[in-house]
Amino acid sequence: MKRFLLFVFTVVLLSGCRYKEGPFLSFTSPDKRIVATWSLQNVYRNGEKITTSEYAALKPGCAYAFHAYGPLVVSAYVNGEIRESYTGTWQFANNKKEVIVKFFLVDRQYEYTAVIKKLSKTEFIYEYDDSKGEHWRLQMFSQAY
């Protein structure tokens, strides 16, 4: 019995430490946590918080809808109108520690592999470097909560 409890404790402990910023312990799989519509709240470029961006998909207030099995829809306000991406996809990589994101929005292709820093039911944070060498950090909150 002691060995069984030690085994269960070890499995829970190791599975809960997936992301650097949390959650420490979750009984919900990353696959289920990521499937949601996320509101982009904070955007950092090279460590500095930005409130506007020349890129429609990197403006606070955008919505990222991660659907089960890979579809992704990104919505943004552009010139007073809501615009949605098409041909968007996402998938986990590197043992679910990274997410590969691809979509097209307002004449711009977005394609990157991001390191997931936090993925809880209510908060999703990831970071990536773009093709220009700029470092981006996106902090999103679930629209369901």
| 23-64 tens-digit pLDDT | 777 789 999 999 999 999 999 999 999 998 899 999 999 999
pTM, whole model, 2 decimals?
0.85
- Residue 18: its pLDDT value, please? 73
Q: What domains sit in the chain, N to C, each tagged with a CATH number? A: 2-142 (2.40.128.20)
- Residue 69: its pLDDT value, please? 95
- Residue 3: its pLDDT value, please? 65
Separation between Cα atoms, residue 118 and residue 124, nearest integer Å: 5
pLDDT averaged over every residue in the chain: 89
**DSSP-assigned letters across all residues of the chain:** -HHHHHHHHHHHHHHHT-STTS-S--SS-HHHHH-EEEEEEEEEETTEEES--SSGGGSTT-EEEEPTTSBEEEEEEETTEEEE-EEEEEEEETTTTEEEEEEEETTEEEEEEEEEEEE-SSEEEEEEE-TTS-EEEEEEEETT-
Separation between Cα atoms, residue 30 and residue 21, nearest integer Å: 14
